[in-house]
A and B are shown apart, each in its own frame.
Chain A
Amino acid sequence: SAVISQKPSRDICQRGTSLTIQCQVDSQVTMMFWYRQQPGQSLTLIATANQGSEATYESGFVIDKFPISRPNLTFSTLTVSNMSPEDSSIYLCSVIGTVNTGELFFGEGSRLTVL
């Protein structure tokens, strides 16, 4: 299993500002992902965080809006830039626990409210 810590757990932000979310895993993992979950909705994959190289973004998500860093195999950050109320969501860090099962472990999430 993998234990994932995310910070902050929640925040209230002003329109136009940026916020960085941190994700710390208790073990080295190859695959790390960032998901967004809008209120009452499903999870949408934002990007795959690649260690030592640029993240791989899904359709509809761009690096300028959601820059991601992954300096090592246990840590990643997601920045939500130039926020608007539409960015109010829960942002979840996720890792694959073992390659065999492909089981995704999630952090507790970071609930952002943009005013």
Chain B
Amino acid sequence: GQQVMQIPQYQHVQEGEDFTTYCNSSTTLSNIQWYKQRPGGHPVFLIQLVKSGEVKKQKRLTFQFGEAKKNSSLHITATQTTDVGTYFCAGTSGTYKYIFGTGTRLKVLA
């Protein structure tokens, strides 16, 4: 079945440093979404990417969808303590069933 892996599994950064998480799917995706889950909370939608090679920005966050639509990345510039949480990508191959990636847990040290 479809698998979606993320690396790294954990990342500890000093506040102000950049952070990147990578998402890789075993199959071609029709679109990919990114979610953030704060400790003790539920996943919250960040963004959706649909087009091959698409790049979207939200303030300090930059999201990219690979040309082959099998991988994606999330880059955070100058991390802040409010960025703490687990970041999940979630992909679909054309239905409304989203397969979540393994997640990257980000810890920001002040």
Contacts and interface: CB of A to CB of B under 8 A. Distances in A.
Q: Do A and B bind each other?
A: yes
* Nearest 7 interchain pairs by C-beta: A106-B42, A43-B100, A103-B45, A42-B100, A42-B103, A31-B96, A42-B102
B41 to A, nearest CB: 8
B33 A108 contact: no
Contacts of A35: 100
Given A48-B97, A103-B45, A42 B33 contact: no
Interface residues of B, number: 21
Nearest to B86: A42
A28 to B, nearest CB: 16
B39 to A, nearest CB: 11
Nearest to A103: B45
B91 to A, nearest CB: 11
Interface string A75-115: 00000000000000000100010000111111111000000
A45 interface: yes
Query: Which of B42, B44, B101, B103 is most buried by chain A, counting CB atoms within 10 A of its CB?
Result: B42
A44 interface: yes
Given A42-B88, A43-B88, A102 B48 contact: yes
Nearest to A33: B97
Contact of B98 (A45, A92, A101, A105): A45
A61 to B, nearest CB: 13
Nearest to A60: B1
B72 interface: no
A93 B103 CA distance: 19
A59 interface: yes
Interface in B88-108: 88, 90, 92, 96-103
